[in-house]
């Protein structure tokens, strides 16, 4: 499926969806003439320096008086990522669901200040992990000129919509962050890939009862991940699970154990009512404390050791799975980085100039720094020169 650059280009235009930012219009796919027309109409906001690691990563109350839950208002954006949805519902992100990369990183990681100077606390994601997720998503789904992205669908709050053939992005776009085999969202083939799906959640419940004595843990995550992949192969004729979505799919399996359990609870067992609070209701449980200590994808080895999946796709309808030799595997983070930059980003923005080029180069530098900080030791690539 990904055997040619032509296919890469087609998929790159649909890249990132469901997890983190309200919808905006992407500049990806525009010709140089179109960019020259559109970019001057946008209010330029340069990339901001990214925040560093937490100074205090201890457990802190997050559902407090300063951050009450508020239901969505007309026009507010929510998407496939329950963590970002929850942060927006409590004001740790702008409640309209449109945010900058720095706001995303601060919200998921550490304390900062919102518009009313109220402290933000977040989930305690490890710094390089938070930066990589935010930058990789922004580069394919955000507006590099206005420095805004959406955690859901299309909204004018991210800036003026560029003309076709630019893609309309946001996290609801398929196959980077969002993608097939989600735990609580349907595959894109079935239509709605970003709303809570009760049938999917009942699989979550069933496997938790069968393998976790009524709780969700790393063991349940491994068995559920196997089921979700095999179920999609058997029923989704357009199934695909390759990099970069491959990495987020396995990462999301352990995310609830690492970040949805109250920080005072060291059991590693997620209550199903708490899980529903995040996945469906987009709210912290009352009196919820963030985890104690910043982490990344701790526990993912339990899932991959049990189910060592090789990336691939259904080539000819259901149950026609073939391996994609061009995709990075879960043990090849540097190939993931190189392919993402040289294929996905370069094909989305083949000839950027001016402020657009400047923003892309800055954000690609940030992405590489996050990759190195994660300990992957990758060689930096420069699709637009140094």
For 44, other C-beta atoms within 10 Å of its C-beta total 16
Predicted local distance difference test score (pLDDT) of residue 119: 34
For 118, other C-beta atoms within 10 Å of its C-beta total 14
- CB environment 335-362: b (16+ within 10 A), e (fewer): ebbbbbbebbbbbbbeebeebbbbbbbe
Classify residue 21 by its DSSP letter.
Answer: B
Specify the pTM.
0.85
**3-class DSSP state of 85:** helix
Phi, psi (deg, nearest 5) at residue 150: -115, 140
Nearest-angstrom CA–CA distance, 158 and 162: 11
pLDDT tens, residue order, the chain (386 aa): 333 322 222 223 233 333 332 233 456 556 655 655 555 556 789 999 999 888 899 999 999 999 999 999 999 999 999 999 999 999 999 999 999 999 999 999 853 433 333 333 579 999 999 999 999 998 888 888 889 999 998 788 888 644 333 354 788 877 566 789 999 999 999 999 999 999 999 999 999 999 999 999 999 999 999 999 999 999 999 999 999 999 999 999 999 999 999 999 999 999 999 999 999 999 999 999 999 999 999 999 999 999 999 999 999 999 999 999 999 999 999 999 999 999 988 888 888 888 889 999 999 999 999 999 888 889 999 999 98
Contact (Cβ atoms closer than 8 angstroms) between residue 153 and residue 145: no
Q: Roughly how many angstroms between the first and final C-alpha of the chain, as a whole number? A: 32
Predicted local distance difference test score (pLDDT) of residue 1: 34
Nearest-angstrom CA–CA distance, 10 and 301: 32
Phi, psi (deg, nearest 5) at residue 37: -80, -40
Beta pairing partners, 120: 112
Nearest-angstrom CA–CA distance, 96 and 367: 26
Nearest-angstrom CA–CA distance, 279 and 200: 11
Nearest-angstrom CA–CA distance, 81 and 107: 14
Nearest-angstrom CA–CA distance, 95 and 107: 12
Count Cα atoms within 13 angstroms, Cβ side, for 81: 38
Nearest-angstrom CA–CA distance, 326 and 319: 21
Predicted local distance difference test score (pLDDT) of residue 160: 67
């Amino acid at each position: 499926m990904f055997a040619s650059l032509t296919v890469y280009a087609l998929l790159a235009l649909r890249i990132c969806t469901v997890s983190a930012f309200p919808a905006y219009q992407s500049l990806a796919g525009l010709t140089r003439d179109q960019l020259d027309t559109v970019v001057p109409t946008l209010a330029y906001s340069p990339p901001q320096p990214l925040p560093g690691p937490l100074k205090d990563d201890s457990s802190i109350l997050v559902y407090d008086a300063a951050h009450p839950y508020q239901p969505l208002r007309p026009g507010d954006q929510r998407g496939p990522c329950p963590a970002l949805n929850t942060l927006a519902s409590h004001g740790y992100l702008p409640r309209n669901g449109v945010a900058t990369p720095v706001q995303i990183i601060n919200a998921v990681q550490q304390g900062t200040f919102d518009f009313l100077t109220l402290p933000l606390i977040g989930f305690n994601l490890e710094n390089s992990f938070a930066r990589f997720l935010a930058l990789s998503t922004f580069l394919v789904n955000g507006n590099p000129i206005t420095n805004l992205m959406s955690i859901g669908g299309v909204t004018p709050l991210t800036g003026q919509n560029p003309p076709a053939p630019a893609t309309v992005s946001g996290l609801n776009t398929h196959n980077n962050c969002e993608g097939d085999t989600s735990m609580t969202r349907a595959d894109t083939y079935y239509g709605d890939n970003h709303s809570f799906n009760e049938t999917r959640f009942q699989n979550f419940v069933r496997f938790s009862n069968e393998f976790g004595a009524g709780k969700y843990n790393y063991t349940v995550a491994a068995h559920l991940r196997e089921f979700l992949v095999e179920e999609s192969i058997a029923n989704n004729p357009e199934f695909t699970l390759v990099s970069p979505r491959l990495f987020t799919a396995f990462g999301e399996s352990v995310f609830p154990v690492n970040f949805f359990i109250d920080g005072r609870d060291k059991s590693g067992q997620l209550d199903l009512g708490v899980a529903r609070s995040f996945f469906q209701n987009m709210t912290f449980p009352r009196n919820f404390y963030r985890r104690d200590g910043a982490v990344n994808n701790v526990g993912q080895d339990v899932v991959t050791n049990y189910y060592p999946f090789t990336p691939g796709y259904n080539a000819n309808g259901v149950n026609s799975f073939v391996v994609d030799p061009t995709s990075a595997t879960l043990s090849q983070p540097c190939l993931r980085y190189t392919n993402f930059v040289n294929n996905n980003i370069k094909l989305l923005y083949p000839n950027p100039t001016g402020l657009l080029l400047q923003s892309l180069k800055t954000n690609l530098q940030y992405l590489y720094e996050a990759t190195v900080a994660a300990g992957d030791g990758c060689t930096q690539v420069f699709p637009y020169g140094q």
